[in-house]
Structure 1
Amino acid sequence: MMSGVFRFAVIGLILFCLHFTSYAQPATTTDSTIIASSNKALQRLASIQQEVHELHPYLQKLYPVAVAENELLYIFDIDSISGDYRFQKKAPQPFPISRGVRAAFPLESYNWQSVCVVSPDAFEDLNGYLVIFHEFMHCAQARSCEYPLKQTLEINRIAMEKQDFSWELNHPFPYQDSLFTAVYGQFSESLAANDSAGVRQARRTLKKHLDPLDYEYLVWEEWKEGFARLVENRLQAKYGIAQNHGGKETPFNRVAFYYGGAKFIEYLTAGNRDLFFDNPALFERMRQFGD
């Protein structure tokens, strides 16, 4: 059974991300239409996965998808026999979910499994499907290494003592600090130029200037979101779609770590390809870089 503490943590996560019932209930006409269209879309998602699964082991598995429509979640998962997506259940949305949502979080109505939650417009174009794989990376992290790694963080320990379960999303990082803004911009420029000395110097300056908890937060977000963004961008490149560089421009906010993290991971794995396939080792490398 999921603890009350974890329930509050998930609620906090879900509320920020927006950027019970029995199985196989009888379907209404409206339900039938939604289920049929979602099944068709998820067949395409599975076909795309077959084209991209060699990029990373995390792409070799498909994860549950919940389609948000009519104040409900229509939950689909892979059938163990056929290997295809099958409708599993519908459940009330835990809060209003608007068009455009793309998120991954543990869903109480689905045994607290990490689920990719999307609105139907995610299936309107190829890029929408590719963004789903970004969210699948978070499902994979959650199922493999995220929680053990999180237990090593001082920022997480302090947050749990305070019952601050949404620290990943609302930590008061000093994004507008003038030195941080300048140095993180230099860091990105050095990465783009493959300037190893510049990358290392910027990293050391950040570590020296920032509060230890702020620096720990920066590394965590770069690892978690940067990795998912890098996979998303590589999929976009494969299909000739413009890559997502959101977070590159000032004023910086949390999304800066999506962009900076992706570029940093790309830099680190260029010289050590094995890191790209070993998420825990990648995190440790990012955490120790510049020491």
Structure 2
Amino acid sequence: MQRPHRVVVLVLDGARPLDVGIPTEVFHPETGFPYEVSTCGVTGGTVTSSGGFGFAVQGGLDALADTDTIIVPGYAPAGRPIPAQVCEALQDAAARGTRIASICYGAFALADSGLLDGLRATTHWDAAQKLAERHPQITVEPNVLFVDEGPILTSAGAAAGLDLCLHIVRRDLGVSAGNEIARGLVTAPYRTGGQAQYLPRASSATRGETLAATREWALARLGQQVTIAELAAHARMSPRTFLRRFTEETGSTPLQWILRARVDTARELLESTRLSVDRIAEEVGLGTGSNLRLHFRRLLDVSPSEYRATFTGRS
């Protein structure tokens, strides 16, 4: 029997309670998926959190030596110095090929350990400038919910940690598993928008979820070729205004967003049905199997057949 995928949550002084709770919920064995999750600190015992709470962690840094994924929750204040032995433990884990992810201000621990050098990364919007100034070798993206750089992942503010953890589940076990865990947590498996909608603005104009209804309308028509003009008309905006608002809310253009939605829907169909690749391409609006294969390879670095074999055991 294959052993579970081991996840260790590294709880540092000043840890934010929600940041710690999210991965322990997503990767809990009670979800029925092959994960086990534990916590550790610099040493075992009680770790003081922000807000006056305390965490009774199960071990010290030696727990990081035998794990598959490490998650570093945010801690306050943002960018506070972390012990040198934490940096060394994270560096050693990365050298072994361990996947390492951060939530919110936890990105500073990865950055101080040198793990983000030359990579893209994100953190809570209110600390993004500080991260960029302190570590100019990192490409900080302040307007996204999370950044996946393969073995190193970072997420924005606390709730974005949930988006990141569900993304990790989808990477490991497929879309259906991510959706099932999301249902158990009563949350959307994919959250629309990015951090930009939460930034303080001088203008009081309503943004954020202004185009949520139009996105839902588009999702219901993935099998059709929907134009920018039609999307703008549904939103009751000019095409120019629509494009600007859509990019502000989602961090991508409408066509990029729809393409990703089509590929994700194709992933679900590959997992849950025996439809051919050509038929799935038609169902999701990508036309031909070759077109689906092209976008699958570009976005996921795998073919549809390989994806199906991985997540269903069928080719």
TM-score by structure 2 length?
0.31
TM-score by structure 1 length?
0.33
Q: Higher helix fraction: Structure 1 or Structure 2? A: 1
Larger Rg: 2
